[in-house]
Amino acid sequence: MLIEIPALLSKKKLAEIQDILSQADFVDGKLSAGQAAQRVKNNTELPQDAQQLNRLNTLVMNTLVQHPLFQNAALPHRIASPFYAKYGKGQTYGEHIDDPVMGPAGQRYRSDISCTVFLNSPGDYQGGELSIKTQFGAQEIKLKAGCAILYPSTSLHQVNPVTSGTRLVAVTWIQSMIRQAERRELLFELNQARETLMREQPDNATTHQVDHSYVNLVRMWSEV
C-alpha cells in the first residue's frame, strides 16, 4: 500500500529547511548503507552528528509524526531518526530492499514502513523519481515539495538517476504496531469508514459496531 501525505510541510517550513540544507556539509551516503546497498548507493547525506539535525527534525519529523494520516496508516510503534539526502547530477540509488532491522545496539527496530519526504520542488531537478515495484508494476513517484510517501519496506525500489539539478529528501523508517502489511491496509481502510461514520452518524448503532471492531482488531493484532 502506497500512501501519499499531501502538503505535509508548509511553505514557511520548507523555506527554512532548504536554507539550512543549503549551508550544511554533506558526506558520502555509502557511510550509512548496509553491505548490499553500498554497491548501488550514490548520494550524499547530512551526517548523524550534524548540528543542524535538531532543528531539521523539529521542522520535519515533529510535523510528520503528528499528522493524522501518518498515524492512521503507519500505526507507529518506533520511528527512526531520518536521513537528509541530496542527489546531484548523475547520482542515484540503485534497486534495493531496505534492511529488515536497523539502528544502533540497544535501539534496534524492525523496518516495516519506509517514508520519503520531498523537500524541494520537482522542477528543481530532472530524473530522480522514487521507483517502487508493486504487484501492479513499477510506480514512479516524484511529489511536490512538502509531500511525503509511505510504502512497505519490503518493496524493491530505487531512486532513478538525477540528470540535472538537485534532489533533496528526508528518509525515515517505521516499526508499526501491526507487523503484517495486509493487516495494516485492512485497518487503514476500516478506520477511514469508521471516521466517516463517527463524523456523519456519531450516535448510530452501526457506527458503534464499526468503532468497536476497529479498536479490538488493533488490540488483537498489535505488537508492543
Take residue 176 and report the three cell numbers written for it.
Answer: 508499526
Asked if 64 and 150 sit in the same domain, the reply is: yes
Asked if 41 and 89 sit in the same domain, the reply is: yes
Asked if 41 and 116 sit in the same domain, the reply is: yes
The pTM of the full predicted model, rounded to 2 decimals, is 0.94
Asked if 191 and 145 sit in the same domain, the reply is: no
Match 510528520 to its residue by C-alpha cell: 64
Would you state the pLDDT for residue 37?
Answer: 77
Asked if 136 and 205 sit in the same domain, the reply is: no
Which CATH number is 20's domain given?
2.60.120.620
Would you state the pLDDT for residue 33?
Answer: 75
Would you state the pLDDT for residue 35?
Answer: 72
Q: Coil, strand, or helix at residue 182?
A: helix
* Count: domains in the chain: 2
- pLDDT tens, residue by residue, 54-69: 999 999 999 999 999 9
Would you state the pLDDT for residue 88?
Answer: 98
Asked if 187 and 170 sit in the same domain, the reply is: no
Asked if 151 and 192 sit in the same domain, the reply is: no
* Residue 34 reports pLDDT greater than 80: no
Is 37 in contact with 102 (CB distance < 8 Å)?
Answer: no
- pLDDT tens, residue by residue, 78-113: 999 999 999 999 999 999 999 999 988 888 999 999
Is 80 in contact with 102 (CB distance < 8 Å)?
Answer: yes
Phi-psi region of 93 (alpha: psi -120 to 50; beta: other; left: phi over 0): beta
Asked if 84 and 115 sit in the same domain, the reply is: yes
Asked if 171 and 192 sit in the same domain, the reply is: no
Q: Where are the alpha helices (DSSP H) in 75-144?
A: none
Asked if 83 and 192 sit in the same domain, the reply is: no
Note down the domain range covering 12: 3-176
Would you state the pLDDT for residue 107?
Answer: 87
Take residue 117 and report the three cell numbers written for it.
Answer: 519526504
Would you state the pLDDT for residue 127?
Answer: 98
% of the chain surpassing 70 pLDDT: 100
Would you state the pLDDT for residue 50?
Answer: 94
Residue 32 pLDDT level (bands cut at 50, 70, 90):
confident
Q: What mean pLDDT, rounded, does the chain reach?
A: 95
Would you state the pLDDT for residue 44?
Answer: 97
